[in-house]
Amino acid sequence: MAMVSRSQASIKAWTLPVTTSNNGASLFSVPPSWNPAVRVAVFIWCLAPFLVLVNAVASNALGPDPAEYLMHATGEWVMRFLVLVLLATPLLRYGWPRLARYRRMLGLYVWFYATLHLLVFAQVFIGWSAEQLIEELAERPYVLVGFLAWVVLVPLGITSAQAIRRKMGRYWRQFHKLTYLVALLGCFHLLWLSRSDVGQPLLYFIIFGLLGISRLRFAQIRSSKLR
Contact 182, 107 (CB under 8 A): no
pLDDT at residue 151, as a whole number? 98
pLDDT tens for each residue of 25-50: 344 443 544 678 889 999 999 999 99
In degrees, rounded to 5, the angle at the alpha carbon of residue 41 between the alpha carbons of residues 35 and 46 is 130
Beta bridge partners of 20: 26
The helix or strand, by DSSP H or E, that contains position 204, with its residue range, turns out to be helix 199-226
Q: How far apart are CA 216 and CA 137, in angstroms?
A: 33
pLDDT tens for each residue of 57-97: 999 999 999 999 999 999 999 999 999 999 998 998 888 88
Residue 20, phi then psi, degrees to nearest 5:
-125, 160
Contact 89, 61 (CB under 8 A): no
The helix or strand, by DSSP H or E, that contains position 83, with its residue range, turns out to be helix 66-93
Q: Which domain holds residue 108?
A: 2-226
Q: How far apart are CA 83 and CA 179, in angstroms?
A: 10
Q: How many domains does the chain have?
A: 1
pLDDT at residue 144, as a whole number? 97
pLDDT tens for each residue of 104-159: 999 999 999 999 999 999 999 999 999 999 999 999 999 999 999 999 999 999 99
Q: Model-level pTM?
A: 0.84
